[in-house]
Amino acid sequence: MLKMCKSEDSVEEWEMKVKLLGNGKVEKLKNSMVSRSPMKLWMIRAITTVLLWTCVVQLMALGELWGPRLLKGWPSCFSHPPVELTSIPAKVILPPKRIYKNNGYLMVSCNGGLNQMRAAICDMVAIARYLNVTLIVPELDKTSFWNDPSEFQDIFDVDHFITSLRDEVRILKELPPRLKTRVEMGMFYSLPPVSWSNISYYVHQILPLVQKYKVLHLNKTDARLANNGLPVEIQKLRCRINFNALKFTSQIEELGRRVVRILREKGPFLVLHLRYEMDMLAFSGCAHGCNSDEEQELTRMRYAYPWWKEKVINSEMKRKEGLCPLTPEETALVLKALGIDRYVQIYIAAGEIYGGERRMKSLAAAFPNLVRKETLLEPSDLKFFQNHSSQMAALDYLVSLESDIFVPTYDGNMAKVVEGHRRFLGFKKTISLDRKLLVNLIDQYNDGSLTWDEFSSTVKEAHADRMGSPRTRVIVPDKPKEEDYFYANPHECLQLLDEPLRSTWT
């Protein structure tokens, strides 16, 4: 029994999941684990999981905190001294390493913000797996707008990442010395792979380059792998990496848990990913509701960044097409129209809102319980996260996963990746706003051609089936950008909650 308890991933992960899922959904979790490993091992894992769950659930019922004292007092499961417990992660029984003939080494430099990189890392691991190469731990973008100097291991648990995937692909923290020297001498090949490619592109175009140069560097990673048309094993592996191998560092997870605990003590909460930040507005050219000084500031900023290529933008036209993030004022109207309780806690998952308090006035008037990480935590708690926007984003990611409702005001990378992750956790409610429809309704309401009741009922009706419930991805052949994004709805890896329990590891 004791051995079984110890053989599971890590205590921390379990705790997180218990909290993530809440009581009623615990049973489903074991089925939502995605895996491609030999069946026997995973059957053992499954049995272990059930047993562990029994322990965990009862433990959680005993008390909220996961302290060693509590664990010690749980005879059937954790009868050893706490010292042993702290060493659990080191003793985890890992899947056996996959043995394969190594075709070479793949280095990757991710580009973009945290969530774009998260999806890219999943793609790159899956590609490395199917090319039978060795992957070097991905390098994160330090030069994007966010300018975050964090390395992979500052954000993700790198050892867990490497070991939990070892039955699929070999991942190293750095190149072996001999090859490192070669790379330092410039003897490697660097290229951006063609975006939205299928696996045959990687096998037929990329693999020969790896074999020729031994070390290949992919210097761009966003959306390099197609949403669709890939073998289901690859889709499932992308999920396994995303939902299982990529864990934030314990420091980030701990702070995330703290924020969630503070929120939960006061009841349910909604996370609003209010993407009304300066970079978003400058980049998109969306200036609805800004004064002329602000418009000029945003335009100057857009021209200053060479990689924001689209320079002349008609803000109002773009807004009418639904291509702008909702403003805080529009968001207030929409949340009210949707019937969101005025007194619910609304956690703003975002950086600084452009225009500050002035722009937040109507939202704060409609929903007085607005909070953010800075108001829930002490400045000292966030000290180490300051100037590390990706670590801040990771904290918001965790809180977003756990919220009762998640509402993004723009369909950026965070909105999409969080939506997909919430689907995986049991189709938790995510409201995908139909911005094109909404801005037109808002304009009609504001000019008096719609009454409040008409406005509200139209908004409700239009969103009745945009709540993150199960459906299949929209596929648009030859137009990958118009398709549903794989990570927003990885339906190959999800199972309907009312389906009879079936195992995903066979």
The only residue of 47, 50, 203, 496 in contact with ligand NAG, by rule CB under 6 A: 203
The only residue of 17, 118, 220, 236 in contact with ligand NAG, by rule CB under 6 A: 220
Minimum CB distance to ligand NAG smaller for 160 or for 388 = 388
Size of residue set near ligand NAG by CB under 6 A: 17
Minimum CB distance to ligand NAG smaller for 220 or for 236 = 220
Minimum CB distance to ligand NAG smaller for 95 or for 192 = 192
Q: Closest Cα to residue 209, out of 100, 107, 110, 136?
A: 107
Nearest distance from residue 230's CB to ligand NAG, in Å?
8
Instruction: Look up residue 44 and give its two tokens.
Output: 């053992």
The residues that bridge with 248 in the sheet, in sequence order, are 156
Minimum CB distance to ligand NAG smaller for 2 or for 474 = 474
Minimum CB distance to ligand NAG smaller for 181 or for 387 = 387
Give SS3 for 18. Answer: helix
The only residue of 190, 299, 444, 458 in contact with ligand NAG, by rule CB under 6 A: 190
Rounded to whole angstroms, how far apart are CA atoms 78 and 63? 15
Minimum CB distance to ligand NAG smaller for 365 or for 475 = 475
Nearest distance from residue 505's CB to ligand NAG, in Å?
19
DSSP string for 343-400: TSEEEE-SSPPTTHHHHHHHHHHH-S-EE-HHHHS-HHHHGGGTT-HHHHHHHHHHHH
Place of tokens 């991942």: 171
Nearest distance from residue 503's CB to ligand NAG, in Å?
24
Nearest distance from residue 410's CB to ligand NAG, in Å?
25
The only residue of 37, 198, 251, 299 in contact with ligand NAG, by rule CB under 6 A: 198
Minimum CB distance to ligand NAG smaller for 343 or for 384 = 384
Minimum CB distance to ligand NAG smaller for 41 or for 92 = 41
Rounded to whole angstroms, how far apart are CA atoms 15 and 429? 22
User: Which 116-145 residues touch ligand NAG, going by CB under 6 A?
Assistant: 131-132
Rounded to whole angstroms, how far apart are CA atoms 436 and 411? 12
Minimum CB distance to ligand NAG smaller for 71 or for 117 = 117
User: Which 70-109 residues touch ligand NAG, going by CB under 6 A?
Assistant: 100, 103
Q: Residue 126 to residues 120, 192, 302, 349: CA-CA distances in angstroms? A: 10, 17, 35, 30
Contact 486, 474 (CB under 8 A): no
Rounded to whole angstroms, how far apart are CA atoms 34 and 146? 32
Nearest distance from residue 309's CB to ligand NAG, in Å?
14
Stretch that binds ligand NAG, among 77-85, 201-209, 359-367, 425-433 (CB under 6 A): 201-209
Nearest distance from residue 93's CB to ligand NAG, in Å?
23
φ and ψ at residue 197, rounded to 5 degrees: -85, 155
Q: Amino acid identity, residue 217?
A: H
Site for ligand NAG contains 308 (CB under 6 A): no
| Terminal-to-terminal C-alpha distance of the chain | 25
In a 13 Å sphere around the CA of 190, the CA atoms on its Cβ side amount to: 7
Minimum CB distance to ligand NAG smaller for 120 or for 334 = 120
Stretch that binds ligand NAG, among 190-198, 265-273, 329-337, 485-493 (CB under 6 A): 190-198
List CB contacts of 91: < 8 A, sequence separation 6 or more.
Answer: 6
Q: Closest Cα to residue 167, out of 242, 241, 97, 245?
A: 97
Site for ligand NAG contains 201 (CB under 6 A): yes
Site for ligand NAG contains 191 (CB under 6 A): yes
Rounded to whole angstroms, how far apart are CA atoms 115 and 367? 28
Site for ligand NAG contains 388 (CB under 6 A): no
Rounded to whole angstroms, how far apart are CA atoms 30 and 49? 7
User: Where along the sequence are the contacts to ligand NAG (CB under 6 A)?
Assistant: 100, 103, 131-132, 190-192, 198, 200-201, 203, 207, 219-220, 229, 386-387
